Amino acid sequence: MRTLVVGDIHSGVKALDQLMERAKVTAKDHIIFLGDYVDGWSTAVETVDFLIHLESKYRCTFIRGNHDELCREWLIQQKDNPQWLAHGGTATKNSYLNADRSKWKLHLRFYEKLKNYYLAQDNRLYLHAGYTNLKGIEYEYFEQSFYWDRTLWELATAINPNLKPSDSKFPKRLTHYNEVFIGHTPISKKEFVEPEKRANVWNVDTGAAFMGGLTMMDVETKEYWQSDPVHTFYPGEIGRN
């Protein structure tokens, strides 16, 4: 059995479908999705439908992303959030307005069941964005940090690469887990890039909402697969560019 982690999809279901084939995913694999399933391309409803169907055939763990929470709030309140609309929400809103309203209730259940994080038995941590408490996830004061925080990746990228976890100056926040897998902060918005490791943090958001591809990684071997640049599946659309 492989454990496969998937970066931010941002409604790019066509890229995800291609990625499933390229990685030759089977029912024996455990797929961990790091959140941000919507906001970007025009197929938001189709993306969530795909994920719901996927869960019936595969072992899946779905992490909550900030865009998923923003979409959930809109589905409940139907109150426009200008910041959300400007960052991919418009495409998602249009996708839902063009869908049968029965989808809304089904998808709300999907969004409500999302996990803020997943800590595996091998002490690998999976979450969308980060955490701020020096003692780790169980001590986090604000659960929104799990899907909004950017300081974890900023911290990891700022560390002297020669520092080891046993060094006194190594950030305590990063000593609790063997590895941490996140999305949320795209490595690049303009180029096709590989997933990136800093300290013990892996960022697998390779810019699927922009000009990059969608990434899936085997967490044990670090082999990874990528879709074609996601924007090529959606000619004439701007995504979040």
Which residues are registered as beta bridge partners of 217? 5, 224
Per the rule left: phi > 0, alpha: psi between -120 and 50, beta: everything else, 146 is alpha
- Specify the pLDDT at position 2: 98
Domain ranges, residue 100 = 3-233
In a domain, 239, yes or no: no
In a domain, 79, yes or no: yes
In a domain, 203, yes or no: yes
CATH number at residue 192: 3.60.21.10
In a domain, 240, yes or no: no
In a domain, 238, yes or no: no
Rounded CA gap, 220 and 30, in Å? 12
Rounded CA gap, 155 and 142, in Å? 19
- Specify the pLDDT at position 166: 87
| Element containing residue 181 per DSSP (H, E) | strand 179-182
- The count of domains in the chain is 1
Mean pLDDT, rounded, for 61-84: 97
Residue-wise pLDDT for 137-160, tens only, equals: 999 999 999 999 999 999 999 999
* Residues 6 or more apart whose Cβ sits within 8 Å of residue 210: 186, 188, 189, 190, 231, 239, 240, 241
* pTM reported for the whole predicted model: 0.97
Query: Does residue 207 carry a pLDDT above 90?
Result: yes
Mean pLDDT, rounded, for 181-186: 98
The two tokens of residue 154 are 């900023």
Residues 210 and 42: beta-carbon distance below 8 Å: no
